[in-house]
């Protein structure tokens, strides 16, 4: 297992390096001048001094400067936010996105797994139809639509939650629920498909023949096997929820990574773009590694293949 984890970790580091290199190539080839964005009015002398200071005219030096700085934890200055470094922006925004994404995944698992199990256990019945309808709505309806609808209904008409902002526990439920809906739908669909395969298996019939109750057989024996595809999905889903909540953060005014990444792209802020991508890639690799280890722990048959 240690050798497997080490190999996966090395492959993950190579993946992060490749993602960063490709992002750097795209950033430096985009037309435009980041020093002239966001309404800046620099003199030619000041602009040239900044270009020399940050090695903006030498891609190799800029690449090496960012890498060495990132290793030390210094991502350099941001051209979008005056007097803020990229590290300070990430340090303030990443915990917000991580908290929001973590709560969204918890909600998605807590609702999606039982929904899929109940749908499979009552295949073709009213409960299965209701579960399938919820899944289709969760997958099909964009988050900006569900987020806006929740804001209007829950925030404006029912006045059960604030309609925006951040900093209080009351600000968490609506954006977390909105972000969780697509993940919940996919988890419910995967759980239902896995349960349908397991419910007709020989080991489950044997357990029922030995006197195990149907409820215990479904929620204990069958779910453990059917949960494996869900576990594989949770790695990239968790990373996506923690780093890809651009629309939800915009709708609810959440000061997370998503808004900063969008602003960086619009303002050609190369340092902040590269910093965000590096953090995103590292989180994705880390959660995939965690899922691989958990997968091998739940199903020892695939330990050698992880």
Residue 176 buriedness (CB in 10 A; 0-12 / 13-18 / 19+): buried
Q: How far apart are CA 302 and CA 300, in angstroms?
A: 5
Asked: is 100-255 a CATH 1.10.3720.10 domain? The reply is: yes
Low-confidence ranges of the chain (pLDDT < 70): 1, 32-43, 46-47, 50, 54-58, 244, 295-306
Strand, helix or coil at 73?
coil
Strands (E), the chain: none
The pLDDT value recorded for residue 186 is: 92
Tell me the pLDDT tens digit for each residue of 221-252.
778 878 888 888 888 888 888 876 778 888 88
Quickly tell me which residue has 């934890």 as its tokens: 73
Q: What is the DSSP letter of 286?
A: H
30 Ramachandran zone, left/alpha/beta (phi>0; psi -120 to 50) = beta
Tell me the pLDDT tens digit for each residue of 117-160.
888 888 878 888 888 888 888 888 888 888 888 888 888 888 88
The pLDDT value recorded for residue 306 is: 45
Residue 85 phi, psi (nearest 5): -90, 160
| The model's pTM | 0.77
Domain locations along the chain: 100-255
The pLDDT value recorded for residue 105 is: 93
Nearest 10 degrees: Cα torsion 223, 225, 229, 234? 60
């Amino acid at each position: 297992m240690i050798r497997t984890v080490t190999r996966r970790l090395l492959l993950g580091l190579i993946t992060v390096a490749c993602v960063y290199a490709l992002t750097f190539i795209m950033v430096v080839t985009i037309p435009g001048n980041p020093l002239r964005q966001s309404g800046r009015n620099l003199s030619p002398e000041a602009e040239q001094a900044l270009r020399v200071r940050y090695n903006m005219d030498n891609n190799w030096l800029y690449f090496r400067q960012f890498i060495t700085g990132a290793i030390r934890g210094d991502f350099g200055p941001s051209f979008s936010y005056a007097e803020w470094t990229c590290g300070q922006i990430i340090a303030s925004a990443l915990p917000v996105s991580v908290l929001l994404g973590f709560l969204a995944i918890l909600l998605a698992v807590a609702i999606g797994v039982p929904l899929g199990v109940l749908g499979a256990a009552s295949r073709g019945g009213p409960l299965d139809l209701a579960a399938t309808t919820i899944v289709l709505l969760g997958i099909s309806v964009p988050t900006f639509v569900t987020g806006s609808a929740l804001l209007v209904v829950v925030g404006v008409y029912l006045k059960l939650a604030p309609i925006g902002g951040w900093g209080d526990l009351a600000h968490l439920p609506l954006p977390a629920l909105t972000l969780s809906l697509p993940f919940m739908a996919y988890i419910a669909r995967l759980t239902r498909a896995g349960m349908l395969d397991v419910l007709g298996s020989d080991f489950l019939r044997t357990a029922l023949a030995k006197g195990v109750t149907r409820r215990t057989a479904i929620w204990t024996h069958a779910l453990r096997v059917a949960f494996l595809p869900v576990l594989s999905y949770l790695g990239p889903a968790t990373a996506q929820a923690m780093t890809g909540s651009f629309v939800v953060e915009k709708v609810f005014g959440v000061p997370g990574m998503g808004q900063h990444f969008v602003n960086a792209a619009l303002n050609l802020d190369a340092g902040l773009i590269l910093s965000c991508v590096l953090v995103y890639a590292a989180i994705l690799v880390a959660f995939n590694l965690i899922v691989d280890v958990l997968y091998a722990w739940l199903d020892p048959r695939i330990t050698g293949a992880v």
